[in-house]
């Protein structure tokens, strides 16, 4: 299970970057009983997120076995990505772009 969790930690960091996910992320890794495995997974995730241009913080595994990560989102979000300023009301509303449909 340790290798699966290490692969998952690297993939989680990749997906957070690709999808520009920000906020508080809670991860439930499988069978995290051994302390050395917990440390390896935390270190792997920290190393993978260190390559990210966004600021993130990885906390220790909680008593419930959950790992918490905070990450600052880089872009403005989905509304900004898939809309444009409405020319009629000059910015009080938005129009979906063709990319969104």
- What residues contact 27, with CB distance under 8 A and at least 6 apart? 12, 66, 67, 68, 69
Q: What is the mean pLDDT of each run of 10 residues along the chain (101 residues)?
A: 93 93 95 92 96 93 94 73 72 66 50
Quickly tell me which residue has 């449909």 as its tokens: 101
List, in order of start, the domains of the chain with CATH numbers.
2-74 (3.30.1370)
pLDDT value at position 9?
A: 97
Beta bridge partners of 61: 67
């Amino acid at each position: 299970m340790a290798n699966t969790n290490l692969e998952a930690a690297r993939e989680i960091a990749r997906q957070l970057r690709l999808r520009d996910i920000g906020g508080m992320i809670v991860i439930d890794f499988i069978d995290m009983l051994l302390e050395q495995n917990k440390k390896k997974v935390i270190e792997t995730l920290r190393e993978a997120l260190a390559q990210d241009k966004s600021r993130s913080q990885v906390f220790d595994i909680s008593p419930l076995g959950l790992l918490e990560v905070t990450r600052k989102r880089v872009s403005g979000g989905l509304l900004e990505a898939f809309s444009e300023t409405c020319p009629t009301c000059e910015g009080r509303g938005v129009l979906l772009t063709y990319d969104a449909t």
